[in-house]
Amino acid sequence: MNYPNGKKPSQQLKKVGSSRTSFSNRGMTLEEDINETNLFYLHSNKAIIHKKPTPVQIVKVDYPKRSAAVIKEGYFKQASTTDYNGIYRERYIDFEAKETKNKTSFPLANIHEHQISHMLSICNHGGICFMIIRFAVHDETFFVPAVKLFPYWESQYNGGKKSIPYNKIKEAGELIPFKYQARVDYLTIIDQLYF
């Protein structure tokens, strides 16, 4: 019996096994992993978390064909806040996701002042606010509560480092294990820390 692609089952298994030898070669970005996780949460009725759209002002559009419009020029309407928000167990959730190829630290230049201000407001209003930081080289993803980021942010303006060392991220954050359906299962960490 052959599969629809015409290959025998043994050929099919060989191909699958050889193309996915480790989790580090899965080819997903952090954003894609979080989007898949959020879809799983939504479909399993665990939480409603969405990626915030970036507000863009479209200025010039070209219509080469009636069925294909091409945006030629556009501008961001305003600075974006964080990447994701939603609700889980009757609590407001708001977070930013960042990925770095740096081995030894997370550069604070990856975060913007208005994002920190937004995160501080969320915390002050009782929301659950955090960052998900992936160190691509180590293939590790961390859940870091926003309140643990604020001291590092302030320190850079008082002669401190302009990055957070990898070992400090490990201390301040929680390692998020890779799972099949919930690839970045941050709700498990929220359950441990907040409920």
Domains and CATH numbers, the chain: 25-52+80-194 (3.40.1350.10)
pLDDT in tens, 18-39: 333 334 434 459 999 999 999 9
Band of residue 110 on the pLDDT scale cut at 50, 70, 90: very high
Which two structure tokens, joined as six digits, stand for 25?
């070669």
pLDDT in tens, 73-109: 777 666 678 999 999 999 999 999 999 999 999 999 9
pLDDT in tens, 39-69: 999 999 999 999 987 767 777 888 877 777 7
pLDDT in tens, 135-153: 999 999 999 999 999 999 9
DSSP the chain: ---TTS--HHHHHHHHHHH-S-GGGS---HHHHHHHHHHHHHHTTS-EEEEPPPPEEEEEEEEEETTEEEEEEEEESS----SEEEEETTEEEEEEEEEE--SSEEEGGGS-HHHHHHHHHHHHTT-EEEEEEEETTTTEEEEEEHHHHHHHHHHGGGT--SEEEHHHHHHHSEE----SSSTT-HHHHHHHHH-
Instruction: Tell me what the pLDDT averaged over the chain comes to.
Output: 84
Q: Which residues are annotated as a binding site?
A: 81, 83, 96, 115
Q: Which residues are annotated as a binding site for Mg(2+)?
A: 81, 83, 96, 115
Look at 16 and 177; give whichever has higher pLDDT: 177
- The predicted pLDDT at position 148 comes to 96
Give this prediction's pTM: 0.76
Residue 27 region by backbone torsions, left for phi larger than 0, else alpha for psi between -120 and 50, else beta: left
